[in-house]
Structure 1
């Protein structure tokens, strides 16, 4: 029986890439069924995913614990990327990351994969400050590490 991977940001660059990679890889596509999470099921990209056999759910608000519960229910693995650019603030992004972490831990998810970035302030010994789109993701990574949930981290190049 294949394991379920829930992919947040399924129509974006990162989530879409994760899904395409799994579908294209013979071994991964045998090992994993994919649940794509979106806020808008009417997107053409969502139709294309459905046509490829991907399960799609419209529970894409990571600020809503109820949405996250539905999205990760039964998942072995969860891939999550938060979107700083939607609000241009780290606070909603940090809240979303914590919601997903806590919900995954309670749901027994075996691997939480988080798209992270370094804390620029710490990495530069304070020379670069207020790079909130980096620092917020770094705060979420730290929270995940402290939570005890099995996790992996990716740092995409820009």
Structure 2
């Protein structure tokens, strides 16, 4: 087993677990899975896969320091929580990583919605805080790369603030809080985050000029929700129609979705820079044919 350690924060979530699985499959690094509760069932499942599992809270600087000590690489995704702002979560990890001698950090980020909307949308702090944390990382002196994500495919797998996926007489409706014509980057996060991070971890020295300080966009397509629904329909073999459900009533989510057309305008999706590093993203149709179809088969 490799003696090179990669610390993965949020290891039991969609993003972190994707990274852990990809690290295990690749074998270059031994994953150190970090979660708030190291005794949870999901954490124990990671331990059964051969991961080192440690408990640490992103608001606890000493716990974070222990989690990154001895690691060569670190992956971080911050999470919205009222007691510890995402910016603070990020700076705690970045400061500890620099002090511990971590050589490379990958950060899961979002656009600063206040900035890209020219002040029109100001409540999507989960995006703003991540963007501010990213700037802090880039100024830290640590070798780094960030991965920007779009609307998750996985949103259709259950109730979510951005809309719903509902059964009809002969198919399904995809209800979203924005007009169906709204264009977005769409990301299969549980499939593609892991391979993208592993590609960066394994090539950050050999291809430093292509990687260091870059913000890569992880997405399968930049399409409208109407087009997204059409691709789901192909995979399911049943009609899927996108409809507007109207605002969710939770302003940060409504403003985040309203700003989606302005995310990463300068980047082609799929990102050709990730493709050059060997990352091939999954398609919407593939997601529907495999993950979504299996999920729906378990529902009444």
TM-score (norm 1): 0.89
Q: Quote how far apart the aligned CAs of 1:52 are.
A: 1.1
- Whole-angstrom CA distance in 2 between matches of 1:47 and 1:102: 28
Shift of 1:126: 2.1
- Determine the C-alpha separation between the residues in 2 that align with 1:54 and 1:131: 34
Q: Distance in 2 between matches of 1:3 and 1:152?
A: 19
Deviation above 3 Å: which 4+ runs of structure 1? none
Is contact 2:69–2:100 with CA below 8 Å preserved after alignment?
A: yes
CA distance in 1, matches of 2:118, 2:127: 15
Equivalent of residue 113 in structure 1, options 106, 112, 115: 106
User: Which residue in 2 is equivalent to 1:141?
Assistant: 134
Q: 2:29 aligns with which of 23, 29, 32?
A: 32
The answer to which structure, 1 or 2, has the higher relative contact order (CA under 8 A, 6+ apart) is 1
1:68 aligns with 2:50: no
SS of aligned partner of 2:39 = coil
Q: Give the whole-Å Cα distance in 2 for the aligned partners of 1:119 and 1:14.
A: 20
Task: Tell me the SS of whatever aligns to 1:147.
Answer: coil
Contact 2:85/2:129 (<8 A) preserved: no
Cross-structure match for 1:56 = 53
Question: In the alignment, what sits opposite 1:99?
Answer: 92
Q: 1:77 aligns with which of 70, 73, 76?
A: 73
Aligned length: 150
Larger radius of gyration between Structure 1 and Structure 2: 2
In the alignment, the residues of structure 2 paired with residue 32 and residue 42 of structure 1 have an alpha-carbon distance, to the nearest angstrom, of 23
Per the normalisation by structure 2, the TM-score is 0.48
Give 5+ residue unaligned stretches, structure 2: 152-300
CA RMSD of superposed structures (Å)? 1.4
- Unaligned segments of structure 1, at least 5 residues: none
Question: The residue matched to 2:53 in structure 1 has which SS?
Answer: strand
Distance 1:157 1:18 in 2: 17
Shift of 1:144: 0.6
Once residues 2 and 39 of structure 1 are traced to their aligned partners in structure 2, the CA distance between those partners, rounded to angstroms, is 24
